[in-house]
Amino acid sequence: MTAEVNKETLGFQTEARQLLHLMIHSLYSNKEIFLRELISNASDAVDKLRFAALSDDSLLEGDGEYAVRVDVDQDAGTVTISDNGIGMNREEVIDHLGTIAKSGTAAFLEQLSGDQQKDSQLIGQFGVGFYSSFIVADRVEVHTRKAGTAANEGVLWESHGESEFTIEPKEKADRGTSITLFLRDDCKDFADDWRVRSVIKKYSDHISVPVLMKEAPVPAADEAEGEGKEASEPAQAQYKPVNEATALWTRSRSEISDEEYAAFYKHVSHDFEDPLSWSHNRVEGKLEYTSLLYIPARAPFDMWNRDANRGVKLYVQRTFIMDDAEQFLPMYLRFVKGVLDSNDLSLNVSREILQQDKTVDALRSALSKRVLDMLSKLSKNDAEKYAVFWKEFGQVLKEGPAEDTANKDKIAELLRFSSTHTDKEVQDQSLRDYIERMQEGQDKIFYVVAENFNTARRSPQLEVFRKRGIEVLLLSDRVDDWLMNHLQEFDGKQLQDVARGRLDLDDESEEEKQAREAAEKESEALVERLKAVLGDDVEEVRVTTRLTDSPACLVVGEMDMGAQMRRIMEAAGQAVPESKPILEINPTHPLINRLDTESDEARFADLSRIIFDQANLAEGGQLDDPAGYVERLNSLLLQLSKG
Ligand SMILES: Nc1ncnc2c1ncn2[C@@H]1O[C@H](COP(=O)(O)OP(=O)(O)OP(=O)(O)O)[C@@H](O)[C@H]1O
């Protein structure tokens, strides 16, 4: 069989094709990143082989001098990036270079707007990797052979970056991967030695494997001219490292610049943007490890996909072990990126072993503390950056108190909320801020939970609080009810849902108490009539002092599930325990007075239903019978217009 017979043409997966197309157009102003991406992949391939060779050193085929080489050929207009890493077999080439395996890719692509600026940021956080070659090249060849396979098992992949690629067997003497880019006419400057060197310096200094380039040819010296050509014959060109080639985290903090930290972040995270913050620590003692953890400036597109890759890059004694080691950070810190280099774990550690290892628990709790401390510092020292953090990741951090009870208090300090103090949607008030503003004698932190900010802000339950100048936190994120159920208190102050249970403002004066009791007595008959009309739809009807402007509101029993949580669970198809709302009426409201004097029982029933339905609407609920509501309201409107 000849190689020609085995040449196959295959199509890119649809998502890969779309991404390719978009990338070429939206990243055009940031062309040089292709080098960073390809060198990053080459370094990962070396790391993978180094790890595999721990248990099988025959894979090295006698060559343990890991390196990445970059060659430029100005005449041909090419740049070639070669590594002696793990390489790929035919199947892997097809899988890795023809498809995009990340779940959620289709959804991600839908978000792209066609606006170059915005899209390039989105694509940046998606991680463009190998495909970035096509930003500068109109043809790419990948020649690769998997370590441990025979020379004739080499594979040649080729594509013009449109809809197809070809793949064929091609002998390769050395293991590893060599990628040649045939540069577009307007990108030929990437075949220039100095240009490429400077880009490598900029992006790849921290990579632990040496990136080599041929020494720039030394021009023959003038005085040699007369002595005959033989004497000035240039020596064989030598490959020399261009980058620093020491793993960044092993260097001491004082020697590392912010730029280097940022470049390293881009290598581990595949993100284009600089990180918001980082924390680099070397620990000796009971546990021995180095960690370098980063907070990104932007949430990844798949943050809400619970199966998305997360976790740190794990090294054991400076040897790469695995990517995405998720055991070292809890779920609510899944946005953290970085490296953990441990001296306590064994080099043969596997994902399975990690799940049972006691050291892992100790490391997880140590890293969690590091991240929380880093966030705490950020919140104190840089309000602007903390606001960015909160906007991007606040909702994830809110999962913390439920997941990590040991750090509940620390997490609580980091939470930010909207509140009636500012009445703004932006979540920028801490529980500490709230406590400082608490009124004399107030011993609870009040909050309201609703479907969205406006519903929360306009919630009838807030009326009395506003009147008395008592601050209430306005919660409307999906996770909020869940958060509050687990938080329960902060700094000794109980957190109280204003729509739950009886209103219990401890500062009710004797006078107010008497007024309330009198109102309750006076409304007894009305309450009974309402109960008769609303029947099984309510748990109870009672008089309240929490309302000033609204005629009525719904509250839930002290032990019942909150209305928001109930809606979320119902939407998720979960069974929710049966519970009915309590209707509270405002005896001072003219509509309630009008109701009390209504003698026509049919009209009384209509009006009662309308008030009940409106209370439901005001808290963002859905009516069981919206058409019935409209009908009743219209019939009342008609009567009004007649009168
Ligand atoms: N030089 C290489 N040697 C061996 N395998 C490689 C090499 N370059 C790419 N690959 C394989 O192709 C896969 C896809 O690479 P690509 O750069 O597109 O994405 P990635 O590096 O996995 O992630 P990201 O999208 O975040 O950059 C890699 O995961 C790896 O398995």
> Per residue in 408-454, pLDDT tens?
999 999 999 999 999 999 999 999 999 999 998 889 999 999 989 99
Residue at 498: amino acid letter: V
Distance 218 CA to ligand 1 centre (A): 36
Q: Report pLDDT digits (tens) over 446-485.
A: 999 998 999 999 998 898 899 889 999 999 998 998 899 9
Q: Is the pLDDT of residue 223 over 90?
A: no
For 275-294, what is the mean pLDDT? 96
Q: Whose CA is nearest to atom 7 of ligand 1?
A: 41
Ligand 1 pocket test: pick from 40, 41, 133, 265 the residue with the most ligand atoms within 8 Å of its Cβ.
41
Q: Which residues is 446 bridged to in the sheet?
A: 472, 496
Q: Report pLDDT digits (tens) over 3-20.
A: 455 899 999 888 888 888
Average pLDDT score, the chain: 88
What's the pLDDT band for 224 if we cut at 50, 70, 90? very low
* Cα–Cα–Cα angle for 614, 616, 617, rounded to 5 degrees: 65
Residue at 111: amino acid letter: Q
Q: Which residues is 429 bridged to in the sheet?
A: 417
How many Å apart are CA 365 and CA 346, to the nearest integer? 19
| Cβ–Cβ under 8 Å, residues 193 and 72 | yes
- Region 248-383: CATH code: 3.30.230.80
How many Å apart are CA 205 and CA 344, to the nearest integer? 28
Distance 100 CA to ligand 1 centre (A): 10
Q: Whose CA is nearest to atom 8 of ligand 1?
A: 41
* Cα–Cα–Cα angle for 92, 95, 101, rounded to 5 degrees: 130
Q: Among the residues of 382-440, which ranges form H helices?
A: 383-397, 400-403, 408-414, 431-437
With CA atoms as reference, report the closest residue to 326 among 303, 298, 299, 354: 354
Q: Whose CA is nearest to atom 31 of ligand 1?
A: 96
Q: Is the pLDDT of residue 601 over 50?
A: yes
Atom of ligand 1 nearest to the CA of 100: 18
| Cβ–Cβ under 8 Å, residues 72 and 191 | yes
How many Å apart are CA 387 and CA 244, to the nearest integer? 35
| Cβ–Cβ under 8 Å, residues 93 and 84 | no
The alpha carbons of the chain give a radius of gyration, in whole angstroms, of 33
Question: Going by C-beta distance under 8 Å and a sequence separation of 6 or more, which residues neighbour residue 425?
Answer: 418, 453
Distance 355 CA to ligand 1 centre (A): 26
How many Å apart are CA 147 and CA 441, to the nearest integer? 73
Ligand 1 pocket test: pick from 130, 167, 203 the residue with the most ligand atoms within 8 Å of its Cβ.
130
Atom of ligand 1 nearest to the CA of 48: 4
Left, alpha or beta for 37 (phi > 0: left; psi -120 to 50: alpha)?
A: alpha
Q: How many beta carbons lie within 10 A of that of residue 114, not counting itself?
A: 9
User: Pick the residue with more confidence: 168 or 272?
Assistant: 168
How many Å apart are CA 266 and CA 269, to the nearest integer? 5
With CA atoms as reference, report the closest residue to 329 among 350, 344, 313: 313
With CA atoms as reference, report the closest residue to 30 among 217, 194, 273: 273
How many Å apart are CA 449 and CA 466, to the nearest integer? 16
With CA atoms as reference, report the closest residue to 138 among 9, 24, 12, 33: 24
What's the pLDDT band for 301 if we cut at 50, 70, 90? confident
Q: Show the tokens assigned to 92.
A: 């892997």
Distance 77 CA to ligand 1 centre (A): 24
Q: The tokens 């943007």 sit on which residue?
A: 273
CATH fold label, 3-216: Heat Shock Protein 90 (3.30.565)
pLDDT at 576: 77
Starting at the edge strand that comes first in sequence, how are the strands of the sheet with 211-214 ordered? 8-11, 164-169, 155-159, 137-145, 176-183, 78-83, 68-73, 211-214, 239-241
Distance 37 CA to ligand 1 centre (A): 9
How many Å apart are CA 299 and CA 364, to the nearest integer? 22
Element (H, E) at 151: none
Q: Residue ranges of the domains in the chain?
A: 3-216, 248-383, 416-497, 510-641
| Cβ–Cβ under 8 Å, residues 403 and 331 | yes
pLDDT at 5: 57
Q: Among the residues of 535-584, which ranges form H helices?
A: 563-571
Distance 251 CA to ligand 1 centre (A): 27
Torsion of CA 230, 232, 235, 236, to 10 degrees: -60
Q: Identify the residues whose C-beta falls under 6 Å from ligand 1.
A: 41-42, 45, 83, 85-88, 96, 127, 129-131, 177, 270
C-alpha to C-alpha distances, 116 to 112, 124, 130, 203, 425, nearest whole angstrom: 9, 12, 20, 23, 29
Q: Whose CA is nearest to atom 11 of ligand 1?
A: 96
pLDDT at 230: 52
Ligand 1 pocket test: pick from 13, 44, 146, 165 the residue with the most ligand atoms within 8 Å of its Cβ.
44
Distance 335 CA to ligand 1 centre (A): 21
Q: Whose CA is nearest to atom 21 of ligand 1?
A: 129
Distance 198 CA to ligand 1 centre (A): 23
| Cβ–Cβ under 8 Å, residues 221 and 118 | no
The CATH number of domain 510-641 is 1.10.10.410: no
Q: Is the pLDDT of residue 235 over 70?
A: no
**Residue environment code for 308-337, b if the CB has 16+ CB neighbours within 10 A, otherwise e:** bebbbbbbbeeebbbeebbbbbbebbbbbb
Q: Among the residues of 241-332, which ranges form H helices?
A: 258-269
pLDDT at 221: 55
Q: Which residues is 489 bridged to in the sheet?
A: 494
How many Å apart are CA 390 and CA 428, to the nearest integer? 8
Q: How high is the ipTM of this complex? A: 0.96
HEC assignment per residue over 71-90: EEECCCCEEEEEECCCCCCH
Q: Which residues is 424 bridged to in the sheet?
A: none
Q: Report pLDDT digits (tens) over 554-579.
A: 988 777 777 777 777 777 777 777 77
Q: Show the tokens assigned to 402.
A: 């439920």
Q: Whose CA is nearest to atom 29 of ligand 1?
A: 96
How many Å apart are CA 538 and CA 612, to the nearest integer? 9
pLDDT at 234: 57
Distance 448 CA to ligand 1 centre (A): 47
pTM: 0.79
Q: Report pLDDT digits (tens) over 117-168.
A: 677 666 766 667 898 899 999 999 999 999 999 999 999 999 998 889 999 9
How many Å apart are CA 595 and CA 258, to the nearest integer? 69
Q: Is the pLDDT of residue 551 over 60?
A: yes
Kindly report which listed range (177-191, 220-234, 259-273, 391-405) carries the lowest average pLDDT score.
Answer: 220-234
Q: Report pLDDT digits (tens) over 10-56.
A: 998 888 888 888 777 777 778 888 998 899 899 999 999 999 998 89
Question: Going by C-beta distance under 8 Å and a sequence separation of 6 or more, which residues neighbour residue 35?
Answer: 70, 79, 81, 190, 196, 199, 200, 203, 204
Distance of CA 634 to the CA centre of its chain: 48
How many Å apart are CA 238 and CA 249, to the nearest integer? 29
* Cα–Cα–Cα angle for 534, 537, 539, rounded to 5 degrees: 100
Q: Is the pLDDT of residue 296 over 70?
A: yes
**What single DSSP character describes residue 273?**
S
* Cα–Cα–Cα angle for 400, 121, 177, rounded to 5 degrees: 95
Q: Whose CA is nearest to atom 17 of ligand 1?
A: 129
Per cent of the chain over pLDDT 90 is 60
What's the pLDDT band for 504 if we cut at 50, 70, 90? low
Beta strands in 362-514 (DSSP E): 418-419, 444-449, 472-475, 489-490, 493-497
Distance 244 CA to ligand 1 centre (A): 23
Give the largest Cα separation in the chain, rounded: 124
CATH fold label, 416-497: Rossmann fold (3.40.50)
Q: Whose CA is nearest to atom 12 of ligand 1?
A: 96
Distance 33 CA to ligand 1 centre (A): 15
Distance 167 CA to ligand 1 centre (A): 17
Q: Report pLDDT digits (tens) over 334-364.
A: 999 999 999 999 887 888 888 888 899 999 9
| Cβ–Cβ under 8 Å, residues 311 and 321 | no
At residue 555, φ and ψ (nearest 5 deg) are -130, 160
